């Protein structure tokens, strides 16, 4: 039976992806910091589906956390067919005033851990000439982001990295999809301290379940870049034509502090 590994699986898009994939009859390795949330999700998924769910409670922002995950999966005797790097955090505020430790954690989680996990699990996929990788970026990947400068830059890395290796793998049985959600109903707003941002004040913000369903279908189709929502796709494409200063001003306007 196939196995999918999902990071950031205890909440939001990651949790909904776990539910979708379990319904397809695929075994799961779920990774997140909270053992309690992971175990509760494991109980739910195994009760509703004929699958085995393995949990790894780990802080992926720690040094070589990706290697620790890989070694635990090897010890379990599992071959990962689907790798979904969903774990990520953000931080809102002017760069001069934000906390370095939180930004360092963000870089380690959003960039370093994702890259290490991709490298480690891709080796097995190459040997089998089969596999799908989905790295979760954001519409933030398409432009600089005042008030979230490090977060936007980290997601730009995810997008460019994923597109590049996807091209390298074009003649193999392995695909790489970058999922780029816009604002989504999840815990992200609170963990990123975005309570003052206009970004989450707008109407029609999609649910994590809707974004997860779109991401899963895009991954299975082997789509390179998957931007959820027509407004987000329009905004992402427009940044390539607008003057850079205007792009910055628009980004600042969209997510600036609500009055």
Three-state DSSP state, 136? strand
Dist. CA 60–CA 31, nearest whole Å: 9
Set 70, 92, 151, 216: catalytic member: 151
Contacts 24+ apart (CB under 8 A), 205-213: 206/181, 206/182, 208/12, 208/13, 208/15, 208/16, 208/184, 209/16, 209/19, 211/13, 211/16, 211/179, 211/181, 211/184, 212/13, 212/16, 212/17, 212/19, 212/20, 213/16, 213/20
Q: Is 214 a catalytic residue?
A: no
Strand spans (E) along 45-186: 53-57, 82-85, 131-136, 174-180
Catalytic amino acids? Answer: 151
């Amino acid at each position: 039976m196939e196995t999918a590994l999902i990071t950031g699986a205890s909440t939001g898009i990651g949790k909904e992806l776990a539910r979708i994939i379990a319904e397809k009859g695929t075994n799961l390795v779920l990774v997140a910091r909270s053992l309690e949330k992971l175990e509760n999700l494991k109980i739910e998924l195994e009760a509703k589906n004929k699958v085995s769910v393995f949990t790894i409670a780990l802080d992926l922002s720690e040094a070589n956390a990706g290697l620790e995950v890989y070694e635990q999966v090897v010890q379990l005797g599992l071959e990962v067919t689907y790798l979904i790097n969903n774990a990520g955090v953000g931080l809102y505020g002017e760069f001069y005033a934000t906390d370095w430790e939180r930004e360092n954690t963000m870089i380690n989680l959003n960039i370093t851990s994702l890259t290490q996990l991709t490298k480690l699990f891709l080796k097995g996929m190459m040997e089998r000439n089969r596999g799908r990788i989905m790295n979760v970026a954001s519409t933030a990947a398409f432009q600089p982001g005042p008030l979230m400068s490090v977060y936007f830059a980290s997601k730009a890395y995810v997008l460019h990295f994923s597109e590049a290796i996807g091209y390298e793998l074009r003649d193999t049985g392995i695909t790489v999809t970058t999922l780029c959600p816009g604002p989504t109903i999840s815990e992200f707003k609170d963990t990123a301290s975005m309570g003052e941002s206009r970004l989450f004040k707008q109407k029609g913000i999609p649910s994590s379940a809707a974004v997860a369903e779109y991401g899963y279908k895009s991954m299975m189709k082997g789509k390179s870049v998957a931007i959820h929502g027509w407004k987000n796709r329009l905004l992402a494409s427009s940044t390539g034509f607008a003057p850079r200063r205007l792009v910055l001003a628009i980004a600042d306007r969209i997510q600036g502090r609500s009055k």
